[in-house]
Amino acid sequence: MKLSYSDIYPGLTLTSEGYPVKQEEVIAFASQWDPQPFHIDPVAARSSLFGKLAACGMHTQCIRGILQHRMPQQLDINAGLGAESVTLPKPVYPGDVLTLTVRVVDMRASASQPQRGIVRVEQIMRNQNREVVLQQVAVVMMPIPTPSELEEIDHA
């Protein structure tokens, strides 16, 4: 179910299902987008900073994306504008199970386009040990329903 701008409020918090990270997927993803030894070669990864194969940061972001999409309730986003203070405090390893929490930080209508809402959303993804593997504040655009659209929703 998609939540519209008029359904949400600062503090609203949504949580995802778990995402099991598979080694084959880690290697396949990084082979295409970030082919560094510590992302694609389990043996070479042992002498890396990580000590073992680790997912690349873009893969971690993609897992965040698909977990958000699979949430039973999700924000009706019509464009992503960027993010503030992205941190990857812990690596993601094959075998991890990741869970995402999304929290509405604040929201406002665009000054120039009042039918567009600008919403700041904190996204925190943790592994099975509750360690944070990704934390960021995303800035997204959500359509603001007009009064007549809201009436339609009420009568649906």
Adjacent-strand bridge partners of 16: none
When the beta carbons of 49 and 156 are compared against a second copy, the nearer one is: 49
Q: How far is the CB of 61 from a second copy (least distance, A)?
A: 5
Closest listed residue to residue 123, CA positions, set 107, 139, 144: 139
When the beta carbons of 10 and 65 are compared against a second copy, the nearer one is: 65
- Binding residues (CB under 8 A) for a second copy: these are 32-36, 38, 48-50, 56-58, 61-62, 65-66, 69, 77-88, 91, 136, 141, 143
Q: How many whole angstroms separate alpha carbon 19 and alpha carbon 61? A: 12
Q: How far is the CB of 110 from a second copy (least distance, A)?
A: 12
The token duo for 141 is 């655009």
When the beta carbons of 11 and 92 are compared against a second copy, the nearer one is: 92
Q: How far is the CB of 155 from a second copy (least distance, A)?
A: 23
Q: How far is the CB of 117 from a second copy (least distance, A)?
A: 12
Adjacent-strand bridge partners of 137: 84, 122
Question: Would you say the C-alpha torsion 143, 149, 152, 154 has a positive or negative sign?
Answer: positive
The token duo for 131 is 């360690």
3 state SS of 72: coil
When the beta carbons of 8 and 56 are compared against a second copy, the nearer one is: 56
